Amino acid sequence: MRRIRITVAYDGTNYHGWQVQPGLATVQGWLEKVVAEIESAPVDVHGSGRTDAGVHAVGQVAAFSLRNPIPCDNLRRAMNRLLPRDIRVMDVSEAEAEFHPRFHARAKSYEYRLWRAEICPPMKRLYVCHHPYPLDEAAMVELAPLYEGEHDFSAFAAADEKDALGASKVRLVMNARLWREGDELVFRVRGSGFLKHMVRMMTGTLVEAGKGNLSRDEFLARLSAGFAGKAGPAMPASGLCLMSVEY
């Protein structure tokens, strides 16, 4: 049995997220469908994490086990022939038998993009959040690095079925930066792992600060374990993209 590692890019607009859901189009569902066709048997495809409905990826990592001896390059071509055009397998390689894309991941990087101009070009609309309203961008740039370090991100997490397990919501953020790139405001964050809606709520909190609704102290309070409320709000899924996973 071979262990196969793939890097996947997808436009999440038409999908109900990564994870298989009965009767709904998902990225994992499509990958399992086409690999099963190649293998002539059911195949479980595991990803590095679950992106939400409408979220995009250029560097999602997934893995599965295969008996078929097809060479990696031919497997990539075969998968891309069978997949819809908004999901592409960018790379295929052999992996160690025990490789798991989620449990072995050391860091992930996400980007969230806000389109700041009055008019959002139609070709951009699915990949940004259009926010042409006044923001103190300098304040947002200054606050973004405060996410760095180990914090309890409970206030930045949407309700999840895993909450019943009582798992820690402490996460390590290695790098968090926000900058202007033409008409876009880009927030990039690299961390050990992310909770449900966490990056979207981190961005939303920066936007609230940019509106003048949060002081520096109020911003920092949301990173404390005892904070009673919620941060955010979560920004729309369209602006978020999983950029890379590190091992």
- Convert the pLDDT of each residue in 83-138 to its tens digit: 999 999 999 999 999 999 999 999 999 999 999 999 999 999 999 999 999 999 99
pLDDT bin (cut points 50, 70, 90) of residue 57 is very high
> Mean pLDDT, to the nearest integer, of 153-168?
80
Q: What is d(CA 128, CA 237) in angstroms, rounded to the nearest whole number? A: 9
Mean pLDDT of 170-198: 97
Alpha-carbon distances, residue 171 vs 18, 174, 200, 233 (angstroms):
22, 10, 15, 19
Tell me the pLDDT of the chain averaged across its residues: 96
Q: What is the pLDDT of residues 132-148, one digit of tens each?
A: 999 999 999 999 999 99
Give the pLDDT confidence of 32-49 residue by residue, as tens digits: 999 999 999 999 999 999
Amino acid at 184: E
Q: How confident is the model at residue 163 (pLDDT cuts 50, 70, 90)?
A: low
**Confidence at residue 226, expressed as pLDDT on a 0 to 100 scale:** 81
Verify whether residue 52 is a known catalytic residue.
yes
Name residue 83's amino acid: L
pTM of the entire structure?
A: 0.95
Statement: residue 185 has pLDDT above 90: yes
DSSP state of 235: P
Q: How far apart are CA 145 and CA 175, in angstroms?
A: 7
Show the tokens assigned to 100. 């798991």
Q: Choosing from 52, 73, 152, 160, which is the catalytic residue?
A: 52
CA atoms within 13 A on the CB side of 39: 18
Going from the N-terminus, what domains does the chain have, and what CATH number goes with each?
Answer: 2-95 (3.30.70.580), 107-246 (3.30.70.660)
The answer to whether the CB of 25 falls within 8 A of the CB of 59 is no
10 Å Cβ neighbour count for 122?
A: 7
Average pLDDT over residues 236-244: 98
Q: How confident is the model at residue 164 (pLDDT cuts 50, 70, 90)?
A: low
CB 163 within 8 A of CB 87: no
- For residues 39 and 150, give the distance between their C-alpha atoms in angstroms, rounded to a whole number: 43
Question: Cα 8 to chain center, whole Å?
Answer: 12
Query: Rounded to whole angstroms, how far apart are CA atoms 169 and 119?
Result: 38
Please report how many Cα atoms fall inside a 13 Å half-sphere around the Cα of residue 40, on the Cβ side.
4
